Amino acid sequence: MNKKISIIIPCLNEEKNVRKIYIAIKKKFKEKSYEIIFVDDDSIDGTQKEILKLTKKKNNVKYIFRKKDKDLSRSFIAGVNISKSKYIILMDCDLQHDPQILNNLSYSVQNKNVQCVSGSRFMKKSINNTKKIKYVFRLMLSKILNHMINFFLDMNLTDPLTGIFIVERNLLLKNKKKFYLNGYKIFLDFYTTNLNRERHHEIPIKLNERIYGESKLTFKTLLNIIKLIFFKKFN
């Protein structure tokens, strides 16, 4: 029987987080009809072994092991392609997004006459538990990029670079050929492609510090964001 919601979790060298995020979701997410799809981008640590351990014991866990193509956006679409659920959630594997937010995402998309709900780090009720200087700097950088995106793309979002959202799967399938599909910001790619903006809703989220593993934010990531902005502006 198909699940109502698929939670797609792209992974790259997240060995110590795979089991922890599964347990956290199981503990905090109240929806009973859901599955988790781990999409690994050719990790060089024990990430794939940890995923396989879960799939042997849990019938609501699926996986895809991709080779030589480290890209979150394309990993996400790969997960969408094997899902049969009505709704798709994207979230990171690093536990920076508190799984409690999954309940708010699920409730909002099913009860507010919207097709997509995204989590925002920058609303009044958003909670930021990141104290280290490097995380504070990244948030400041995100704010600057957010203003630039809203200005150039005629948008009015508090967090167009969010990494967590829920959307109707049929919308993704209908529009995936139009996506830029390069980099880590699939929400911005999707939102600017063919989403009815009147049927999108933002909610505040709680952001935690990453405990294990390394952030994927690099100069290349920033360059891809800028390329995406220009692609959306002039296409």
Residue 57 has a pLDDT of: 84
Q: Computed from CA positions of residues 26, 28, 32, 37, in that sequence, does the dihedral angle turn out positive or negative?
A: negative
Domain holding 228, by residue range, is 5-234
Buried b (16+ CB within 10 A) or exposed e, 36-47: bbbbbbebeeeb
Domain count, the chain: 1
What's the distance, CA 78 to chain centroid? 13
Q: For position 53, which CATH number holds?
A: 3.90.550.10
Residue 65 has a pLDDT of: 97
Quote the tokens at residue 217: 């934010």
Whole-model pTM?
0.91
Quote the tokens at residue 232: 């959306």
Q: Checking DSSP bridges between strand 165-168 and strand 87-90, what pairing results, if any?
A: antiparallel
Residue 213 has a pLDDT of: 63
pLDDT in tens, the chain (235 residues): 678 999 999 999 999 999 999 999 999 999 999 999 999 999 999 999 999 999 988 889 999 999 988 889 999 999 999 999 999 999 999 999 999 999 999 999 999 889 999 999 999 999 888 766 666 777 888 899 999 999 999 999 999 999 999 999 999 998 888 888 888 789 999 999 867 788 899 999 998 887 766 665 667 777 888 888 888 888 7
From the list 78, 74, 84, 73, the residue with the least C-alpha distance to 63 is 78
Buried b (16+ CB within 10 A) or exposed e, 124-158: eebeeebeeeebeeeeeebeebbeebeeebeeebb
Q: Computed from CA positions of residues 191, 160, 84, 75, in that sequence, does the dihedral angle turn out positive or negative?
A: positive
